[in-house]
Amino acid sequence: MRQPEELYELKADAPDVSGAAFLVNLEGFMDAGSAGRLLTEHLLDSLEHETVASFDTDRLLDFRSRRPLMTFDKTRWESYDDPRLEVHLLRDPAGKPFTLLTGPEPDHEWELFVAAAQTVATRLKLGTMITYFGVPMGIPHTRALGVMTHATRPGLVTSRVPSPGKLQVPASASALMEFRFGQAGRDAVGLVVQVPHYLSQAAYPTAALTLLDAVREITGLELPGETLQEAADRTNELINRQVAESAEVAELVRGLEVQWDAAVTEEGNLLAEGEEMPTADELAAQFEQFLAEQQRGGDPPEF
């Protein structure tokens, strides 16, 4: 029988990080607005970090379904971007440690991968695991984004927005991690930021900034957010300019605002009767074309 320890290498001289938060963001599942990706990149770019554990991607990934990139230069292959699934150790400006598991979501051996992640968490004596990503919702960008939360035990975290009732959805490796961690008696929390559906295919820094605030609140970490805030301000300025320049877009956004405000007055029931909600296609086609044109006309925003 295969052992979880065969699936990763743990740094021999890893420092003591007992109780440190265990953030998890795996690429490949839903992530509206690239919220989870932007937050992960922001943390790794803003804070010093070191790799404390590496997983065997040769075993876990299907390379033919998502081929890594190689660079060819004139007469030879110059480089190979090998996919990495790693646990990084970071510290906030106050010196408080936390860890971050990031990389491509495994294609194979999910149960063994989850068991391996549990052993890493146990060996490093990590605290609460926190997953995060974005989902598309019928909300306007002119209203504050909500964060739905779920956890492995009651009272661990309280959601500020209504969560859906019982439903079945396609599984993800990070969701299975939360489920198995809970069965093993470990604390785990899921953060799901609501992203306007017409912006779900674009990079939307406001969603990442909203997730950052939620992580801060749960962990007590003093995480920097200045560059994310600047990126969000630039993106929102572009969106607001498009709204101002198009009566049709402005009307559609107003329709969403009416629907959203009515929902809030009825205790968060987003299916409340009222104005007809504009379709995602109507909004997305215009916003995404506008944002694409802005990026083609100059350098994309730096995060």
Residue 88 near residue 16, CB atoms below 8 Å: no
> Residue 67 domain-assigned?
yes
> Residue 303 domain-assigned?
no
Are residue 35 and residue 183 in the same domain, yes or no? yes
* 76-106 residue pLDDT tens: 999 999 999 999 999 999 999 999 999 999 9
> Residue 290 domain-assigned?
yes
Are residue 256 and residue 139 in the same domain, yes or no? no
Give the domain-ending residue among 172, 201, 224. Answer: 224
Provide, rounded to the nearest whole percent, the portion of the chain with pLDDT above 90.
Answer: 71
Read off the CATH number of the domain in which 99 is found: 3.40.50.10900
Give the domain-ending residue among 173, 207, 224. Answer: 224
Task: With CA atoms as reference, report the closest residue to 169 among 183, 179, 154.
Answer: 179
For residue 147, what are its two tokens?
């964060």
Are residue 139 and residue 247 in the same domain, yes or no? no
Task: With CA atoms as reference, report the closest residue to 255 among 232, 277, 229.
Answer: 277
Q: What's the mean pLDDT in 167-186?
A: 95
- The domain containing residue 244 runs over which residues? 231-296
pLDDT above 90 (res 283):
no
Beta-strand ranges (E) seen in 146-255 are 147-151, 188-196
pLDDT above 60 (res 110):
yes
Mean pLDDT of the chain: 88
* 2-22 residue pLDDT tens: 899 999 999 999 889 999 999
> Residue 301 domain-assigned?
no
pTM over 0.75: yes
> Residue 302 domain-assigned?
no
Are residue 106 and residue 69 in the same domain, yes or no? yes
Which residues lie across from 189 on neighbouring strands? 130, 151
Give the domain-ending residue among 170, 193, 224. Answer: 224
How many domains is the chain partitioned into structurally? 2
φ and ψ at residue 207, rounded to 5 degrees: -65, -40
Composition of the chain by helix, strand, coil, percent to 5: 40, 20, 40
- pLDDT confidence of residue 61: 97
Which residues lie across from 201 on neighbouring strands? none
Residue 56 near residue 8, CB atoms below 8 Å: yes
Are residue 137 and residue 266 in the same domain, yes or no? no
